[in-house]
Amino acid sequence: GKPRVVVVGGGAGGATAARYIAKDSKGEIDVVLIEPTRTYYTCFFSNLYIGGFRDLSSIAHSYGTLASEYGINVVHDWAIGIDRDAKTVSLAGGGSVPYDRLILSPGIDFVDGAVPGWSTLAQNKMPHAYKAGSQSELLKAQIEAMPQGGTYVMVAPPNPYRCPPGPYERISMVAHKLKAENPTAKIIIADPKEKFSKQGLFEEGWNTHYAGMIERIGPDFGGANVEVNPDEMTVNLDGEVIKADVVNVIPAMKAGRICELADITEGNWAPVSGHTMQSRVDENIHVLGDATSQGDMPKSGFSANSQAKVAAMAVRGALTGSRVFPAKFSNTCWSLIDTDDGVKVGATYEATDEKIAKVDGFISQTGEDAAMRKTTYEESVGWYEGITADMFG
Ligand code: FAD
DSSP for 343-373 reads EEEEEEEEE-SS-EEEEEEEE--TT--HHHH
What pLDDT sits at residue 50?
Answer: 98
Q: Ligand 1 centroid vs 192 CA: distance in angstroms?
A: 23
**Region of 315 on the Ramachandran plot (φ > 0 left; ψ -120 to 50 alpha; else beta):** alpha
- DSSP code per residue over 47-92: HHHHHTSS-GGGGEEESHHHHHTT--EEE-S-EEEEETTTTEEEET
What count of other Cβ atoms lies within 10 Å of the Cβ of residue 362? 11
Residue nearest to atom 50 of ligand 1 (CA): 107
What pLDDT sits at residue 314?
Answer: 98
Q: What confidence category does residue 183 fall into, taking pLDDT thresholds of 50, 70 and 90? A: very high
**Region of 286 on the Ramachandran plot (φ > 0 left; ψ -120 to 50 alpha; else beta):** beta
Q: What is the mean pLDDT of residues 208-222?
A: 97
- CA atoms of 258 and 130, how far apart (whole Å): 18
State percent of the chain over pLDDT 70: 100
What pLDDT sits at residue 96?
Answer: 96
Q: 304, 286 in Cβ contact below 8 A?
A: no
Nearest ligand 1 atom to the CA of 289 is 52
What pLDDT sits at residue 20?
Answer: 98
Q: What confidence category does residue 173 fall into, taking pLDDT thresholds of 50, 70 and 90? A: very high
What pLDDT sits at residue 75?
Answer: 98
Tell me the residue type at 237: L
Three-class secondary structure assignment of 155-181: ECCCCCCCCCCHHHHHHHHHHHHHHHH
Q: What is the per-residue pLDDT across 367-377, written as a single tens digit (0 to 9) for each?
A: 999 999 999 99
Q: 251, 111 in Cβ contact below 8 A?
A: yes
Give ligand 1 pocket residues (Cβ under 6 A): 8-14, 34-37, 40, 43-44, 46-47, 78-79, 105-107, 130, 162-163, 166, 170, 256, 258, 288-291, 299-302, 304, 333-334
- CA atoms of 126 and 361, how far apart (whole Å): 36
Nearest ligand 1 atom to the CA of 77 is 20
Residue nearest to atom 47 of ligand 1 (CA): 301
**Region of 189 on the Ramachandran plot (φ > 0 left; ψ -120 to 50 alpha; else beta):** beta
Nearest ligand 1 atom to the CA of 387 is 25
Q: 176, 313 in Cβ contact below 8 A?
A: no
Q: Ligand 1 centroid vs 1 CA: distance in angstroms?
A: 33
Q: Ligand 1 centroid vs 70 CA: distance in angstroms?
A: 22
Q: What confidence category does residue 234 fall into, taking pLDDT thresholds of 50, 70 and 90? A: very high
Q: What is the per-residue pLDDT across 85-127, written as a single tens digit (0 to 9) for each?
A: 999 999 999 999 999 999 999 999 999 999 999 999 999 999 9
Residue nearest to atom 45 of ligand 1 (CA): 300
Q: What is the mean pLDDT of residues 310-339?
A: 98
What count of other Cβ atoms lies within 10 Å of the Cβ of residue 337? 26
What pLDDT sits at residue 104?
Answer: 99
Q: Is residue 229 packed enough to be buried (19+ CB in 10 Å), middle (13-18) or exposed (0-12)?
A: middle
Q: What confidence category does residue 215 fall into, taking pLDDT thresholds of 50, 70 and 90? A: very high
Q: What is the mean pLDDT of residues 222-240?
A: 97
Q: What confidence category does residue 53 fall into, taking pLDDT thresholds of 50, 70 and 90? A: very high
Q: Ligand 1 centroid vs 59 CA: distance in angstroms?
A: 13
Q: Ligand 1 centroid vs 301 CA: distance in angstroms?
A: 7
pTM value is 0.98
Q: What is the mean pLDDT of residues 346-370?
A: 98
What pLDDT sits at residue 292?
Answer: 99
What pLDDT sits at residue 35?
Answer: 98
Q: Ligand 1 centroid vs 311 CA: distance in angstroms?
A: 17
Ligand 1 pocket: which of 33, 44, 47, 140 to mutate (most atoms within 8 A of CB): 44
- CA atoms of 42 and 57, how far apart (whole Å): 10
292-293 and 270-271 strand pairing: parallel
Q: What confidence category does residue 303 fall into, taking pLDDT thresholds of 50, 70 and 90? A: very high
